[in-house]
Amino acid sequence: MTAELTGKIALVTGAAQGIGAAAAKSLAEAGARVILSDRRDTIATQKTIETAGGAVRAEATDVADPLSVDKLFQSILENEGNLDFVVNAAGILSEGTIINMPVSEFDRIISVNLRGSFLIAQGAAKMMAPAKSGRIILISSELAYLGRAEFSAYCASKAGVVGMTRALARELAPDVQVNSVAPGPVDTPMLALENMSQEWIDREIDNPLERVGKPREIAALVRFLCGPDAGFFTGQTLSPNGGAVMI
Ligand SMILES: NC(=O)c1ccc[n+]([C@@H]2O[C@H](COP(=O)([O-])OP(=O)(O)OC[C@H]3O[C@@H](n4cnc5c(N)ncnc54)[C@H](O)[C@@H]3O)[C@@H](O)[C@H]2O)c1
């Protein structure tokens, strides 16, 4: 077991399952103490990390709610006192044609995926900027680049994350680095491959590597971005996507 992040503190949102859970496990394996946050319970992730000997605690949060996010960062200030990494993996997916999607549904997606990224980055920046150190990692999607019919709200939210990453990278430099990860399809509960028709599976694996990604492959990139070898990265959106998008 490598321990290049020993002594570091990481916050991971969306840590109950999927990419967030995998990222939390990977950072804990690397030696970081991880604060697991989700609006659902994170007991399964917590148990896995504790069983492997990792340091972890849980804090329920709705990333779209400013009061909830304030409470989260207040708790980190009181309990840990500082924060080295934030990974905002909380997110939701929803589809619907532009003609049929109610504006309330558009607002719901934007409020979790984009406002949530803003609020989590804001809370992190308030701790990291005075400390003159930190890494913020936001989660976008390959769909920010590709676009997809009937996913306009989701694609807009994820393209917004790319723009916000660039702006925050400039604003918080040189002390705080801000990057994002824009995965292609990843085998998580969000993708729900088991409920998908063959036609949809074929669409998801329509990339040169002809498969979907694994959560641990995305977590490995998150871990790299938090690690000692990523010191020259900021404002970047890295896209593990099987080659579906080449930027
Ligand atoms: N799975 C994919 O194919 C894929 C591809 C590209 C990007 N992404 C993005 O990666 C991120 C993680 O996706 P995933 O596949 O692990 O999804 P997932 O649905 O498996 O997990 C998302 C987690 O976020 C939590 N969450 C949702 N809304 C929240 C809120 N308001 N506050 C706090 N927590 C909230 C959920 O409870 C859940 O535990 C998302 O931003 C998603 O858009 C996923």
> Cα of 92 to ligand 1 centre, how many Å?
5
Give the count of beta carbons closer than 10 Å to the beta carbon of residue 220: 15
Q: Which domain holds residue 171?
A: 9-231
Query: Is 180 part of any domain?
Result: yes
Query: Is 24 part of any domain?
Result: yes
Name residue 15's beta-bridge partners: none
Q: Quick check: is 154 catalytic? A: yes
Predicted TM-score (pTM) of this structure: 0.98
Q: What is the pLDDT of residue 55?
A: 97
State the total domains in the chain. Answer: 1
Single out the residue of 160, 40, 184 nearest to residue 109, CA to CA.
160
Phi, psi of 9 (to 5 degrees): -115, 130
Q: Can you give 179-197 as a three-state secondary structure string?
A: EEECCCCECCCCCCHHHCC
Q: What is the pLDDT of residue 170?
A: 98
Query: Is 75 part of any domain?
Result: yes
Question: Would the CB of 112 count as within 6 Å of ligand 1?
Answer: yes
Query: Is 120 part of any domain?
Result: yes
Query: Is 238 part of any domain?
Result: no
Which entry of 154, 158, 182, 218 is annotated as an active-site residue? 154
Question: Which tens digits make up the pLDDT trace of 125-173?
Answer: 999 999 999 999 999 999 999 999 999 999 999 999 999 999 999 999 9
* Positions in the chain whose pLDDT score sits under 50: 1
Please tell me what DSSP assigns to residue 68.
H
> Cα of 99 to ligand 1 centre, how many Å?
25
Phi, psi of 30 (to 5 degrees): -80, 0
